[in-house]
Amino acid sequence: MSRLNYQPISDKRSHKRKNLISIGIANPIQIITTCAIILLIRILYSLDARNFYDTSNDISTIYYFLLTSECRTPYVDPFSTAAFKLFNPGKLTYENCANDIPLIQSVYLNQARKYVLHMNMSAMAGISNVSNTNIENIHCCYREIRRPVGVVTNEDRYIISPCVNFPQDFMVPQHIDFMITECYLNNNKTSLIQKDAFSFVQQKNNTNNNDNAPKSNSTFGRRKPNILLLGIDSVSRINIRRTMPQTFKYMQMNNWFELQGYNKIADNTFPNLMALLSSYNLSTAEDKCRAETVGGLNRPECNFIWNKFKENGYKTAYAEDSIGLSTFNYGRKGFLQQPTDYYIRPMLLAISSKMAKKRLRGGVTCIGRKHQAEYIYDFALQFANSITTEPFFGLFWTNSFSHEYFDLPLTMDVKILEYLKHMKSNGILDSSIVIFFSDHGMRWGPLLQLNSGFFEERLPMMFISIPAWFQYEYPEFVKSLKLNRYRLTSPYDIYATMGHVIELGNPQKQFLYANDTIKGLSIFREIPENRTCYDAEIPEHWCACSPYETISSSDSTARSIVFMVIDEINRYLFGKNISDKCSQLFLDKLKEVQSKIYNPPNQTTYRLTFDAKPKRASFQATAIYYKISNTIKTVVEDISRLDSYVPTSGCLKLKEARKYCICKDKDGIK
């Protein structure tokens, strides 16, 4: 549905405050008076917040994540009593996937730009003593993993070679990107000692580059920064403070910039990442990219930012850990041609099939000797360390330890910290803009039952490390970024920022202005203080700016509206031709009703939390109620499912409709 076309009505106090600030200040008495008035206004804002939120638990009445003339996002205490009751930090710590010593090590020779496989002879000798076997009888071999050559209509395919023996300090051929190694007690491969897997970022010709693109790491006398995106699925800016405190503290101590007003623009991973990577909202992405058809994501119209970087002389990489939940493969067809110069999916497919899996105490899965996510972060370090002659862009995305359970990031805190420290010691942070971010917070589960649940879901983490040389060369960018930490921002703005970086490297290309699809604003330019969710292209249901007040769930208008919302969901299921599989929904309980404080004439925006029959599925919807016509406007695909839909939607493959589908009994509701 189309977005309602109106600008939110501003609080009159905010206009008064702007007028006060604009007055010329001529003497100390005026300075003191003006400061006192501004302080009083901030106190009034804080007192005003008590009318908007139930503050008995974890939402502060005094502080705000974001406080502008058009956006008030109250501060959420990550360590409130209610939140901490959900955690048991002592039981969730990092566990090694393997307790044995690695028999094979991959060593990168910087000068030769080659990888060597080194056998740990002392470890092998230890195994020989235990097994009473001569060390000469231990043999190791490798199986090359590669993506099929030519047309690939199914991204779940890979090729793996027979096992080839290799000697000590074997130099890996440059055509090999991934391999599985196996070590045996004898040469007939009947007694396996250890199996491992390795990736190699080999030097490649960037055949897809524009011939006229600059090939060096500086252009027109100006150095080009690398761009690294390190993403973790489903981590809010609130929850990272609970579950990854060491990583958070490290970023604070090393002057990473946090965007406190960063707000998601849609429900799940795909639309939020597409906004960041292409500037498209969901409907435009579906139209331009056709991700559910083979080759759709490779269409030029798809507008991926990595293609723009490639055209401008950058090496590119994309890696994601969980092959079953992969952003571009779950319910979609993936890539007909691999999307970037370096692409790890063939390796992950192979090791998921050929290596042992183990589920650790907290719920994290190991593949072989590593956590799934470690393959991604090792690949990121390899990429950043080995690409030295060209600038690079890389997206490294993990969801294996964060997607299902809100507390599992605790198990990876020390490991993520270790990788960030490696990035610093290896000089990667000195040459690269590094963005450590998420797509959204948790979308279901106990965190959403807290008073702060609305904000947990909508405020993903967003931290940015800027190299010292870049800050020195572009001080006006740093000045804007410091301001924009406290302005409303969205994934569209990160896309615009990356486009801005491309412009710096090649000022002859006006990237931001030539492309009329861009919705965002570069965070290296000042974002307006009075920006609204409407301005930022954030739909009302996902907007964390607007103050609401709680009203009685027995309110007759509210009850009428919730019935209309459920009717919209049922019509949606019917329109998708799945009502034969999915049950019709009925109201079970209207749990909470909130009404937006400031509304245009003759309409009111409501936020409703309700359970529906069958199976007491829990939903949260935003609906605009038109008083004169007694009708509503709601976007069904924006309605949140607050409990997990997985147990009740197994009969349905249609991804976007699963959260509204309660499978009929004949299809086996659990």
Q: DSSP letters of 129-169?
A: HHHT--GGG-EEEEEEEEPPSS--S-TT--EEPPPEE--TT
405 — pLDDT class (breaks 50, 70, 90): confident
Query: Percent of the chain, pLDDT > 90?
Result: 68
For the chain, the domains span 12-81, 82-538, 548-667
Q: Which long-range contacts (CB under 8 A, 24 or more apart) does 168-174 make?
A: 168/118, 168/119, 168/121, 169/116, 169/117, 169/118, 169/119, 170/116, 170/117, 171/114, 171/115, 171/116, 172/106, 172/114, 172/115, 172/116, 172/117, 172/200, 174/114, 174/202, 174/203
Tell me which residue of 500, 478, 488 sits closest to 530, measured CA to CA: 488
- The average pLDDT across 623-644 equals 95
Cα(533)–Cα(265) distance, integer angstroms: 9
- The conformation of residue 102, written as its DSSP 8-state character, comes to P
18-22, 198-202, 517-521, 576-580 — which one is most confidently predicted on average?
198-202
Residue 516 confidence (pLDDT) above 90: no
131 — pLDDT class (breaks 50, 70, 90): low
Tell me which residue of 114, 208, 213 sits closest to 169, measured CA to CA: 114
How does the average pLDDT of the chain come out, rounded?
86
| pLDDT value, residue 84 | 85
Cα(314)–Cα(52) distance, integer angstroms: 48
- Angle in degrees, 0-180, between the axes of helices 413-425 and 245-253, rounded to the nearest 10: 30
Q: Which residue, chain included where needed, has tokens 């090694």?
A: 96
Strands 139-146 and 164-165: antiparallel
| pLDDT value, residue 207 | 45
Strands 631-633 and 640-641: unpaired
Cα(491)–Cα(281) distance, integer angstroms: 10
- The average pLDDT across 78-89 equals 87
| pLDDT value, residue 509 | 61
Fold of 548-667: Nuclear Transport Factor 2; Chain: A, (3.10.450)
| pLDDT value, residue 91 | 74
139-196: pLDDT as tens digits: 999 999 999 986 567 788 999 999 999 999 999 999 999 999 999 987 677 789 999 9
- The average pLDDT across 38-66 equals 50
242-270: pLDDT as tens digits: 999 999 999 999 999 999 999 999 999 99
Bridge partners of 618? 611
| pLDDT value, residue 227 | 98
Tell me which residue of 498, 448, 327, 465 sits closest to 398, measured CA to CA: 327
217 — pLDDT class (breaks 50, 70, 90): low
Region of 553 on the Ramachandran plot (φ > 0 left; ψ -120 to 50 alpha; else beta): alpha
- The average pLDDT across 466-490 equals 97
Residue 212 confidence (pLDDT) above 50: no
Domains 82-538 and 548-667 share a fold: no
* CB-count exposure of residue 363 (10 Å: 0-12, 13-18, 19+): middle
Whether 599 and 9 have beta carbons less than 8 Å apart is answered as yes
Residue 41 confidence (pLDDT) above 50: no
589 — pLDDT class (breaks 50, 70, 90): very high
Separation in Å, CA 277 to CA 293, 370, 652? 19, 29, 29
In the chain, the amino acid numbered 383 is F
Tokens standing for 505? Answer: 């490297």
| pLDDT value, residue 88 | 75
Residue 625 confidence (pLDDT) above 90: yes
Separation in Å, CA 348 to CA 98, 369, 387, 652? 18, 13, 22, 26
First to last CA, the chain: 33
Q: Which long-range contacts (CB under 8 A, 24 or more apart) does 565-572 make?
A: 565/608, 565/610, 565/621, 565/623, 565/632, 565/634, 565/639, 566/610, 566/612, 568/632, 568/634, 568/636, 569/612, 569/619, 569/636, 569/639, 569/660, 572/636, 572/637, 572/657, 572/660
CB contact set of 124 (below 8 Å; sequence gap of 6+):
103, 135, 138, 183
- Containing H/E element for 46? helix 28-49
Region of 163 on the Ramachandran plot (φ > 0 left; ψ -120 to 50 alpha; else beta): beta
Residue 558 confidence (pLDDT) above 80: yes
Residue 89 confidence (pLDDT) above 90: no
Tell me which residue of 429, 352, 422, 330 sits closest to 382, measured CA to CA: 422
Cα(281)–Cα(492) distance, integer angstroms: 9
Which overall architecture, per CATH, does domain 82-538 show? 3-Layer(aba) Sandwich (3.40)
451 — pLDDT class (breaks 50, 70, 90): confident
Cα(224)–Cα(84) distance, integer angstroms: 44
Region of 503 on the Ramachandran plot (φ > 0 left; ψ -120 to 50 alpha; else beta): alpha
- Containing H/E element for 376? helix 372-386
| Other residues' Cβ atoms within 10 Å of the Cβ of residue 601 | 7
- The average pLDDT across 95-116 equals 93
Residue 465 confidence (pLDDT) above 90: yes
Length of the chain: 670
CA angle 531, 270, 351 (to 5 degrees): 140
Report cis status (omega within 30 of 0) of the bond before 446. no
Q: What pTM was computed for the model?
A: 0.86
Question: By three-state DSSP, how is residue 248 classified?
Answer: helix
Cα(515)–Cα(421) distance, integer angstroms: 37
| pLDDT value, residue 59 | 58
2-20: pLDDT as tens digits: 333 333 333 433 343 333 3
| pLDDT value, residue 57 | 52
